[in-house]
Amino acid sequence: MARTVSVGVDIDALVHYHRIHGLPEGRASNAAWRDALPRFSEMFEALGVKATFYAVAADLAIPGNADRLRALVAQGHEIGNHTLNHRYDLTRMTADERVVEVGQGRYRLEHAAEAEVVGFRAPGYNVNADLLRDVAATGHTYDTSVFPCAPYYGVKAGVIGLLGALGRPSQSIVGTPRVLFAPRAPYRMDPNEPHTRGDGLPEFPVTVAAGLPMLGHAFTALGRRGAVAAAQLAARLHDHVTVEFHAADLLSLDEDRLEPALAAQRDLRVPLARKRETFEAALRALLDGATCVRLCDLRLGPPNEGARA
Ligand SMILES: [Zn+2]
């Protein structure tokens, strides 16, 4: 079976990083949309990648962002739903609040992008059966929020605990450890237990190969050679690889003159050129001998069969 690779970018505006790190929200800039998106589309153009950009609908209130979304569509990219307000506590909301976050997010993004939106990615990778029922009921055809990676789970729990101890409670929440036992390959979810196989909505987990997640900031941390080795390993172990970037992966604290306190986000301190080179090399390794396919174009066969383009 031919290998497939899907590449996604979560357009998390810097205000969300301010929230995670307990910084004032008023000083956050629109650099994720204004500066990072053109860099991603240029890199994808050079690699022949058609990607999926998961957007937060509330960010459309900033002038120019709807045009930026349409520009991505015109280049052949898919737009996915990253909710209305990027609330990390979706799984703890009331049913009414939750369906607004999911349904209004999709509706507003479709309206602004003038394109169909069928994919969903939850903020902070937190999903449960109630949330995914809403995702399916509001017209999405797939979810890509499951991230079965123990190191990430441990780090996130640690950061949140530390901030709480420092009196700067983070708005991110840890979620269920059951995610660690979720299937590694694309699968249909059990509607009552989304981290196990069933006959429900297709799930495309972010690929983790031998503990190494196919994530932009993991590539940055590994450096060029390490990222290429991780990508080659993922390509060998997985028929389908889902890669996830965040807009901030192509931002730089110094070069983009971002809020200095964001230095807590260590990958923002790495020079842009080095990150771009690392990402390109990793993506080339993944794409070697594989077909690049947007998740909206990927179909899942019956349970226990792989994905196909
Ligand atoms: Zn996000």
- What is the rounded CA–CA span in Å between residue 4 and residue 240? 5
69 Cα to the center of ligand 1, angstroms: 16
Confidence of residue 125 (pLDDT cuts 50, 70, 90): confident
pTM, two decimals, is 0.89
User: In degrees rounded to 5, what are phi and psi of residue 243?
Assistant: -105, 140
240 Cα to the center of ligand 1, angstroms: 22
89 Cα to the center of ligand 1, angstroms: 12
12 Cα to the center of ligand 1, angstroms: 5
- What is the rounded CA–CA span in Å between residue 309 and residue 32? 30
| pLDDT at position 182 | 78
Judge whether 243 lies within some domain.
Answer: yes
Judge whether 197 lies within some domain.
Answer: yes
| pLDDT at position 25 | 84
Res. 174: pLDDT tops 60: no
132 Cα to the center of ligand 1, angstroms: 17
143 Cα to the center of ligand 1, angstroms: 14
String of DSSP letters for 280-306 = HHHHHHHHTTEEE--GGG-EE-STTS-
Res. 159: pLDDT tops 60: no
| pLDDT at position 167 | 58
Judge whether 189 lies within some domain.
Answer: yes
293 Cα to the center of ligand 1, angstroms: 22
289 Cα to the center of ligand 1, angstroms: 30
Mean pLDDT of all residues in the chain?
A: 89
- CATH code of the domain containing 209: 3.20.20.370
> In this predicted model, which residue has the larger pLDDT, 98 or 164?
98
* High-pLDDT (> 70) share of the chain, %: 86
33 Cα to the center of ligand 1, angstroms: 13
| pLDDT at position 17 | 86
Judge whether 206 lies within some domain.
Answer: yes
Res. 202: pLDDT tops 70: yes
Q: How many independent structural domains does the chain possess?
A: 1
Res. 207: pLDDT tops 90: yes
123 Cα to the center of ligand 1, angstroms: 4
String of DSSP letters for 148-211 = --HHHHHHHHHHHHHHHHTT---S-----GGGGGS-SS-EEEETTEEEEEEEEEEE-PPPEETT
* Cα distance between the two ends of the chain: 10
Res. 171: pLDDT tops 90: no
Which residue range is the domain that position 138 belongs to?
3-297
> In this predicted model, which residue has the larger pLDDT, 19 or 83?
83
Judge whether 302 lies within some domain.
Answer: no
291 Cα to the center of ligand 1, angstroms: 26
Res. 81: pLDDT tops 70: yes
Confidence of residue 225 (pLDDT cuts 50, 70, 90): very high
2 Cα to the center of ligand 1, angstroms: 30
Lowest mean per-residue pLDDT among 14-18, 35-39, 114-118, 127-131: 14-18
86 Cα to the center of ligand 1, angstroms: 6
Judge whether 155 lies within some domain.
Answer: yes
Judge whether 304 lies within some domain.
Answer: no
245 Cα to the center of ligand 1, angstroms: 10
247 Cα to the center of ligand 1, angstroms: 9
Judge whether 309 lies within some domain.
Answer: no
